[in-house]
Every structure is written in structure tokens, then in C-alpha cells.
Chains A and B, each alone.
Chain A
Amino acid sequence: METNAYGFPLLSLIAYLPLLGAIAILFMKNEDKKAIMQAAFGVSIVTMLVSFLLIPGFDSGKADMQFMEKAEWIPSIGVSYATGIDGISLLLIILTTIISSIAIVSSFTAISDRIKEYYVAILFLETGMIGVFISLDFFLFYIFWEIMLVPMYFLIGIWGGGRRLYSAIKFFLYTLFGSLFMLLGILAVYFLNADPAIGTGQYTFSILELQKINLPMHPYQYWLFLAFFLGFAIKVPMFPFHTWLPDAHTDAPTAGSVILAGVLLKMGTYGFVRFCLPMFPAASHYFVPLMAGLALVGIVYGALVALAQKDVKRLVAYSSVSHLGFVMLGIFSLNTHGITGSILQMVNHGISTGALFLIVGMIYERRHTRLIADFGGLSNRMPIFAAFFAVSMFSSMGLPGLNGFVGEFLILVGAFEFNKIYAGIAVIGIILGAAYMLWLFQRMMFGPLDNPENQKLKDMNRREIAYMAPLVLFMFWIGLFPRPFIRVMEPAVAKIIQRLDAGKVALERGEISPVEEVKSDFKSQKLAARLDAAQKLED
């Protein structure tokens, strides 16, 4: 095991603390509601604080993985327990621990039924999310990737509203479907790497090893990219795989939506950055038109549909589709600006959309409705609420001075460098984004306060202010001083760009053939293998 600044497996500690907490809570009595809440909150806060220890120990000048841990696990198929982080995962881990703590605090009054199971599920989920970001072995990665779905399924299905049962199983089925394709992709890479003619000749699931693989564009990169694409695109979700998202978001409890938007969606984009780009660089270049096209459709389509929503939560959900389109566009600009902006925007989206879902949750808790038409003129009754709402909204819109602006700006620069038309279409999305957000705010907060039920609304209490405050702080911090956030991921991004450039060279050198040819090529290879076997039989 390699040592880190602290001399003990810090990453595993962070990952399993919530799990241990969840197990401890399992042994508490159902009736001790208060104690359960405090325990869950305590565990999440401790996890968050421990995860902050990563920051001083992290050397942001290095592109290599840090805080590495490695141990033998299943040697006969080359699986080891390996963890480590670079700047990209560092940001996302911190985001995860913060969002999880906030999700737990925000649930204190919102959830009154089956409290124990609820907090166990959230803590369990936290372990899964952190695990995904720290895994350096595909086997381990896949365990976390899949196990995450289970608590989320229960969060939506048990504590959700509306058509919760339908949304829960839809979410589970969609994402499982994608992950299984990814699993096939992983296995294929595993065998290709074990083929001495292509890879290192070793059977290993090590992500770092497999990232170094130089696959021929056809047929391997081409098909494997698509297999991984399915897994990640459903998770992101990219248009047209997004249909599970509005349902899941709308029907999930507030904390579920916050985690879903804040962290879970980032798994998909993280997957693209971490696996698709370095492992299939040539295919990444090859598929840019498709990827950017889908991203742009997602941006515009998500925004247009958001404009038409009557339910606040659904509106925010569709805004996620649009925002994640931006992230995807940045990634597939395949240049430093675009990718840096995308990663930053992942964090930003987690913060601002998380905040918006919390806002929706507060108003829903008070009024038990989320229809925009039921509100109006709330800013008079709830000034603090209005202020927080406004900041979150502006952050989501990308107003300069707030975090969203920095990310979107970088993405647009990246897209512009790559293709001016892409950037032009994306700008339409920004304008539409401003439109649906401002219109929403106007309809809910301004105008006459004519609904008598709204007259009695109470403003945000101290707990609510307390959990919104850190999010707002980050909005300003990233918006005004984004440098530390960008610097920490620079070396990791540079490394990916290096891989991508190599892939581009390979692609331009003409190591690429038309698709039809590939297909027949692929088939004839398989046929040859079979004929070989038949020949052997006859011998």
C-alpha cells in the first residue's frame, strides 16, 4: 500500500464511514426518532470533515493518482482493491460529502415516516457515491456504481410522491440497462488488454492499467465507446435517454432530488471524462458530431420543455437536462477549456440545482403543492426565502459573479474553439435558461398575493437558512474566485488532453475505415475464428 500524507487509508475511511454509520443506526430503536436523526447528521458531518482532510494533503501539481490504496482481492481474475483520487475526483468527493450532509439536514421535518430506513438509505447511498469516485479498479467501481441504485430506488419508492412506484422502477431499470452494457464493455476491454497483440497481455481490472490501452479504432474503440456511452448517457442523462429523469426527480423526496441532481447525474459525466476519453480517444474524436449534437439537442430541448412546465419541480428537473447538455458539450469540445469548464460545471450544477430543489422542497413542505399557478407574490411574505431563491436562480442561469457563469463561460470558450456553430446554438440555451428561470421567479414571487392559503406562509427558519447558506457561499466563492477549483484539476485534465491528442493523430493518420467495411470486417473475423475451430475438429 502506498502511503499518503496521513499514513492511513483515508479514502476508504471516507467511503465506509457512512456505511458504518448506517449499520450503527440499524441497531437503534425505531422510536428514537430524534436520536436517529442526530446520529445520521453526525455521521454525515464527520464524513464531510474527514473528507476535508484530503485538501491539505493533496498535491495539486501532480496529475497522478494520490492517496492510493492497493490490496490483492481476487487475484485469479486480476481484481484488486485499489483506490486513489486526482483533482477531478477530489472535487466531486467534497461535493458529495457536502451535498449528503445538506440532504440529511433538509429531511428533518420533511420525512416523518420510517425514519430509520430513510437515513440508512441515504448514508448507504453516500458510501456508494464516494466509492464510485475513488475506485481505481473496474470490479470495485462496478460494485459501487450498481449498489448506489438500490437506496435511490427505495428513496423514490417509499418516501416519494406522485407516481413514486412507477418512477422508482423506471429509474432502476433504465440505469441498470445502461450499466449492464457498460459491464460488457469493461469485460471486452479486459480481454483485449489480455491479448498480447493489443494490450499488455495481463488479466487486470485495474483502471489505471486499462486506461493506457491503445486499441485499434476499428472495430474495438468504435463499439466499446458505444457500449460505455450507453451506460453513461443514460445516467447523465443525455437526450434521448433522459425520460427517466423528470419522473424520478419529480417523485423523489426533496433530499432524493438533491442527491440525484447534485451527485448521481455527475456519475455519467464523470464516467465520460474518466473512461471514455482516455480509453477510446480516437473514437471520442470520431463521435464528436453525434455527442455534441445530442448535447445541443438536450440543451435546447430541455430548456424549451422547462418553459412549458406547470410544476416547479418538473421545471427544475428539465433544467437539469439542459444543464447537463452543457456539461456534455464541454467534454466533447475535447480541449482544455471545455473539459475544465465541464468539470467545474458538474460541481456548479450540483450546488445550484441542489439549492433549487431545496427551495422547492421548502415551499412544498409548507403548502403541499408544487404547481406554479398556486403561488404568486410570495416575496412579500417570505423575503429571506425570496433572496435565497433569487441567488440560486441567478446561479443556475449563469449570471456573472456567480458560479454558473464561470463554468458556462469556459464551456462556451471550449465549444467556440472547437466549432463556432456549436457555441452559437448553446447560447440559445442560455437565453432560454434565463427565460424559464426568470419567468418562474416572476410568477411565484411577484404579483399580487391573492391566494389566501399563501397569506399564512412562514419564512425560512434557522435550520433552513443554515443548510442553504453553505451552498450560497460556494456560489459566490466559485463565481468570484474560481482559481483554486480550476487549478486542482488542471494536471488531470492535461493528462486526458494528452491522450486525446494522441488519439486524434491516430485518427488523422487514417487508421479509420468506413463503418460498413468495419462491420463486415468484424463479422469475417468472427467467422474465421469459427472456421478455425471447425477445421480443428476435422483434423
Chain B
Amino acid sequence: MEPTLPDIQLIAILPEMILAFLACALFAADSFVPKENKRQVGYFAIGALVLSGLSTIPLWGQEISTFSGMVSLDFYALFFKVVFLAISTIIILISGRYIEIERINMGEYYGLILFATVGMMFMPSATDLLSFYLSLELMSMSFYVLVAFMRKDPKSVEAGIKYFLTGVFASGVILYGIAFLYGASGTTNLNEIATFIATQEIGKSPSLIMSFVLLITGFGFKIAAVPFHMWAPDVYEGSPTPITAFLSAGSKAAAFSVMLRVLINGFGLSTGSWWPILWIVAVLTMTLGNLIAMTQTNMKRLLAYSSIAHAGYILMGLIAATQLGFAAILIYLVGYAFMTLGAFTLVILLCRTNHRGDQISDFRGLARTNPLIAATFILFALSLVGIPPTAGFVGKLFLFNAAIQGGFYWLSIIGILNSAISLYYYFKVVKAMYMEDPPDDLKLSFSPGMKVAVGFTAFVTLFLGLFPEPLIKAALTSVKIFL
């Protein structure tokens, strides 16, 4: 029999190809850029991201499945790709000054961010367990290095090792789950798995149960859901702050994007039979995240626990398992990305030479010295709590909408109790800014990139709160693939 080449449409991965190619070029070019000019490498990286973003324009509206069904390009995938590109761009904007201060001013830093982005962009496109696993690993590997990038700082190294060990363990668990699934169904293609599962009684097949539990566990690690969240606070605290922001906004969204594909496309979650297990995880995640966040004094740890709590809210959409619920996840992820990036940007602003500036007490009196920055923090805090008119409110509105529509009244009541609790710790920071006196030496590390990032994230957070219609439409269109 003559081997036939599968029909491959490279256009489906055009944005990723561009980005990957330019990332390689960046590594090559980096050796010629002198140490003090590394910002230029950053500009190059931004250029690469923008170029990749532009290349998505002709792809909108197309539906392509290629590489023998391993990768598909649809509205859903494009939605996330654009979000990831935006997140990465902001990350690079807020990195320039920070890595100079922390003396980790190396071109590889940018290159790794680009590679992580490529991995993320493949994730929502993955319609095969193999492509899913490979893209997940590409993202994770880049992150393992980035987290430990401040290699002279023991905390960063500790974070790196911790993240690596738990991450690899989670990957192993996922792989184990994939193996079970493959063993049962004989295929790695999600659509074929779905067809297979539709004929099965999942509850009576041990290997299907195992694979489901293992996959949920693995995803739980990646999105930092309780009880798989232990790594998050230490890793968040130890990493370079822009990378913490990247983890919190990007990696989490990416993990959710592929989680939806696998669980809904593959397992047919929308039939609603799996909700009890997710219900427990969601409740634990939001409650524990919020309760522990209340006692934090370190900003990065606080945001880590808040990030855990937000994963819990997002799971509500998955539990509801309706079109509204899935759309809510997308809307929330976008809103959350921008508000959390904004909050981290402010933490970075406080970072100076020999002063990490990541304690809540470092925010004291900011309203007196930098009223505008303080005001933007109020906006982010309101959005994180879910108070209108902010992106966070619209996201929560949709999540609660979905939960109520699905009849999950207790879940939504627990959700709102948690939202109310979260006000306390976010406003602890606001209190420090507005109601305490500034230390004598408070000075912010501004750079043009930082200003753009603060302005842009604040604008988006407010804009999506007031005019969410385009986002809602896009999210509703995206999740049509699940119906």
C-alpha cells in the first residue's frame, strides 16, 4: 500500500507559525544585541505578537480541521488566540523595566514568553489528545524556565523547582488519563472519542472513570483548583512578577480553553452527568481561595489565592454546562485576564532597585503620591470583587446567570457569599492606599510600556463593564462548537 500524505492546510496554524518562527529568529538575533539594549528585543517580541495577531484577520469565519483532525481552527480557537496574544503583549510591556531592576535582563526571557504563547495558542485548537498534550507541554516547559528566571533569588529558584515538579507530575497524570482514554476508545481524536463515549455507560467502565478523574486532576493542577492548588502561592510569590501575571492570566485561560474542548467535546460533559464532582471542586476552590487570601500580607500571594478563588467561580460555568455557561467562562476569562494583569502591573510599579515592593504595606499612601494609579487600582479591585460597571461584574453576572438557569441555586449562593468575602481583602489594599500615610521614599518605577499597560488594562476593564455586547456576541458565537 502506498503511503499517502494527509491533506495539511498550513493556513490553519499560520499565526502560530509566524510567532514560532519569529521566536526562533529572536533567539538568534539576541546574541548580537548588547546587554544594555535588551529592550529592543522586547520591541521585537511585541512586533512578533502584533504580526501574529494581524495574520488572524483573514482567518475569521473559517472552519478548518487539519493534520488528520489534530488541529482545528474555528471561532472558538481564534477567540482565545487573540486573547493570548493580547495578554502576552501586555506581559512584555510590563516586563522591560522589571527585568532591568531585577538584573535578569536577557533576550531569552522574551523568547520564552513567545514560545509559551505559541503553546497557549495551540491549546484551544487542539482536537486530539496528542496535540492537546504537546501544546500543554510547550507552554509548561517555557514557564518552568521563566518562573526560575531570577536564578540568584532563592525564592525564584524554589518556585521554579516547585512548579517544575508539580507541573511534571500533573502532566504525568494527564498523560495517564489520556492512556486510559485511548485504551478504552482506541483513538486519540476527540470527536471519535465523543462518538465512542456516546455509546457507553461511563459509570460502568472503570477505564473511562479513571481517565475522567485523572484528567480532572491534571486540569485541576493547571488551573490551580483546590485541592490541587498547593503550588500556586509559592510559585506566584517567587516568580518574577510579570511571569506571575502571565501565569495567572494566560496559563489559566489556556488551561480552561483546552479543558472545555476535552471535557465537552470529548466527554460530552454538556449532558450534565459529571456535575457533582465539579461542584465540590468549585465550592472548595472558591471558598478556600477566598478565606486564605484574607490573611495574606504579600500582594503576590494575595493575588495567587484570589486567582485560585476565581478558578472556582469559572468552574460554575462548566457545571451549568449550557451554552450560557460556556460563554460565561469565556467572558469571565477575558475580563479576569485584564483586571488581574492590571493589578499585577501596579505591583510591578512599586518594585524598585533593592526593594521588592510586593507587600500590601508598600501600597500605603499611594493615593496621595499617585492618585491616578490608586484610582485605577480601585477599578481593578471592584472588577475582581464583581462590582459594576466593570468587566468582572459582567463576567460574574454571566456565571451566576448560567448557574441560576441550570438550577444550581446553592452553588450561586455560595458564589455570592464568596464574592462578598473577597471584597474584604481587595479593599485591604485600597484601605492601605487611601487611608494610611505614605512612607517617605515612595517612588514608582514608570516606563512608557508600564503606562500603556496600566491605561489599556484599566480601559478594557471599564469598557467591558459598560459595553460588553461585542464580547458577549463573540463568546456566544465561539461556544457554538459545543452544541
Interface residues of A (CB under 8 A from B): 73-77, 114, 117, 142-143, 146-147, 149-150, 153-154, 157-158, 164-165, 168-169, 172-173, 176-177, 180-181, 183-184, 187-188, 190-191, 526, 529-530, 533-534, 536-538
Quick check: A184 and B400 within 8 Å, CB to CB?
yes
Also in contact, A533 and B273, with CB within 8 A (given A74-B469, A147-B387, A154-B434): yes
List 10 interface pairs A-B (beta carbons < 8 Å), by A numbering: A74-B468, A77-B401, A77-B472, A147-B387, A147-B389, A169-B423, A172-B423, A187-B404, A191-B404, A536-B271
- Residues of B within 8 Å of A191, CB to CB, are 401, 404-405
Q: Which residue of B lies closest to A149 (CB)?
A: B387
A311 and B59 alpha carbons, distance in the complex (Å): 70
Q: Is B186 an interface residue (CB 8 A)?
A: no
The contact of B272 among A153, A158, A533, A538, by CB within 8 Å, is A533
Quick check: B472 and A158 within 8 Å, CB to CB?
no
Instruction: Give min CB distance, A429 to chain B, whole Å.
Output: 32
- Residues of B within 8 Å of A150, CB to CB, are 378, 382, 387
Instruction: Give min CB distance, A115 to chain B, whole Å.
Output: 13
Chain B binding site: helix, strand, loop or mixed by DSSP? helix
Also in contact, A188 and B472, with CB within 8 A (given A173-B424, A533-B273): no
- Residues of B within 8 Å of A73, CB to CB, are 469
Quick check: A537 and B413 within 8 Å, CB to CB?
no
Also in contact, A176 and B400, with CB within 8 A (given A76-B476, A154-B434, A165-B435): no
Also in contact, A176 and B387, with CB within 8 A (given A76-B472, A184-B412): yes
Interface residues of B (CB under 8 A from A): 201, 271-273, 367-368, 371, 378, 382, 385, 387-389, 393, 397, 400-401, 404-405, 407, 409, 412-413, 416-417, 419-420, 423-424, 427, 431, 434-435, 467-469, 472-473, 476
Chain A binding site: helix, strand, loop or mixed by DSSP? helix
Also in contact, A181 and B473, with CB within 8 A (given A191-B405, A526-B407, A537-B273): no
Instruction: Give min CB distance, B66 to chain A, whole Å.
Output: 32
The contact of A146 among B368, B387, B435, by CB within 8 Å, is B387
Q: Which residue of A lies closest to B198 (CB)?
A: A537
The contact of A176 among B272, B273, B389, B420, by CB within 8 Å, is B420
Instruction: Give min CB distance, B302 to chain A, whole Å.
Output: 16
Also in contact, A538 and B469, with CB within 8 A (given A158-B435, A172-B427, A176-B387): no
Instruction: Give min CB distance, A534 to chain B, whole Å.
Output: 6
- Residues of B within 8 Å of A149, CB to CB, are 387
The contact of B273 among A165, A529, A534, by CB within 8 Å, is A534
Quick check: B472 and A180 within 8 Å, CB to CB?
no
Quick check: A146 and B420 within 8 Å, CB to CB?
no
Instruction: Give min CB distance, B36 to chain A, whole Å.
Output: 38
Quick check: B404 and A188 within 8 Å, CB to CB?
yes
Instruction: Give min CB distance, A472 to chain B, whole Å.
Output: 36
A147-B387, A187-B401, A529-B407 known; 11 new pairs, CB 8 Å cut-off, are A74-B468, A76-B472, A143-B388, A150-B382, A157-B435, A158-B434, A177-B420, A184-B412, A537-B271, A537-B272, A537-B273
- Residues of A within 8 Å of B273, CB to CB, are 533-534, 537
Instruction: Give min CB distance, A180 to chain B, whole Å.
Output: 4
Closest 4 CB pairs of A and B: A180-B416, A143-B388, A533-B272, A537-B271
Q: Which residue of B lies closest to A189 (CB)?
A: B404
Instruction: Give min CB distance, B242 to chain A, whole Å.
Output: 29
Quick check: B389 and A143 within 8 Å, CB to CB?
yes
A188 and B400 alpha carbons, distance in the complex (Å): 10
Quick check: B389 and A180 within 8 Å, CB to CB?
no
Q: Which residue of A lies closest to B272 (CB)?
A: A533
Quick check: B472 and A142 within 8 Å, CB to CB?
no
Quick check: B416 and A157 within 8 Å, CB to CB?
no
Q: Which residue of B lies closest to A191 (CB)?
A: B405
A114 and B388 alpha carbons, distance in the complex (Å): 26
Also in contact, A184 and B404, with CB within 8 A (given A76-B469, A172-B427, A530-B272): yes
Q: Which residue of A lies closest to B321 (CB)?
A: A533
- Residues of A within 8 Å of B435, CB to CB, are 157-158, 164-165
A114 and B433 alpha carbons, distance in the complex (Å): 14
- Residues of A within 8 Å of B417, CB to CB, are 177, 180
A147 and B401 alpha carbons, distance in the complex (Å): 21
- Residues of B within 8 Å of A117, CB to CB, are 367, 371
Q: Which residue of B lies closest to A184 (CB)?
A: B412
Quick check: A181 and B416 within 8 Å, CB to CB?
yes
Q: Which residue of B lies closest to A181 (CB)?
A: B416
- Residues of A within 8 Å of B382, CB to CB, are 150
Q: Which residue of B lies closest to A538 (CB)?
A: B201
A346 and B476 alpha carbons, distance in the complex (Å): 44
Instruction: Give min CB distance, A527 to chain B, whole Å.
Output: 10
Also in contact, A176 and B404, with CB within 8 A (given A142-B388, A537-B271): no
